[in-house]
Amino acid sequence: MISPKKGISSLLVYVLIIGVTLTIIIGFIGYALSVWSHQGTYKTLLIYPDTRIDTENNTLILHITNKGSVTAQIYKIIIQNSEVIETTIIIRPGDNVEVTIPLNKTYKPGNSYIIEIYTKEGDVLKQPIYIPIKAE
């Protein structure tokens, strides 16, 4: 007596192997192309620790540099989720700038605040700043 065949045919196995292989190859090529297309177009914004709030003049002094290869545009700064500053600061590659921005609220010496910097490109930088108590 001849027993019925069990399992899948060898042709189906080959089709599955080829399909899985092609899927992996296409995924790898897509990833490689996306990485390659972004080479040379990056920005790295660095906020210096001397960024501060000047309580005498009620201003934010923002010290920032662009270590990347593309221009960055800051459009909004938020201080401690309470003050929103709409601005336009353009930082070209290699620029090291110190910008003085007037504030509407007052901030107390001896406190720390978090500033959030938003760029048109979708980046958000967060930096704690401390306002020292001035010795008299």
CATH number reported for the structural domain that contains residue 100 in this entry: 2.60.40.1890
Shared domain check, 69 and 102: yes
Strands (E), 1-136: 45-47, 52-54, 59-66, 72-79, 83-91, 96-102, 112-119, 124-130
**Is 3 inside a domain boundary?**
no
Identify the three-state secondary structure at position 31: helix
> Which residue range is the domain that position 26 belongs to?
8-39
**Number of CB atoms found within 10 A of residue 93's CB:** 15
Q: What is the pTM of this model?
A: 0.65
Pair 65, 29 in one domain: no
How many domains, in total, are found in the chain?
2
Examine residue 75 and state whether it is found in any structural domain, yes or no. Answer: yes
Same domain, 63 and 126: yes
Q: Coil, strand or helix: which one is 111?
A: coil
Q: How far apart are the first and last CA of the chain?
A: 107
Would you give per-residue pLDDT tens digits along the chain (136 residues)? Answer: 555 566 667 788 888 888 889 888 888 887 777 666 555 555 688 888 888 888 889 999 999 999 888 899 999 999 988 899 999 999 999 999 999 999 999 888 888 899 999 999 888 888 888 887 765 5
Which backbone phi and psi does 68 adopt, to 5 degrees?
-90, -165
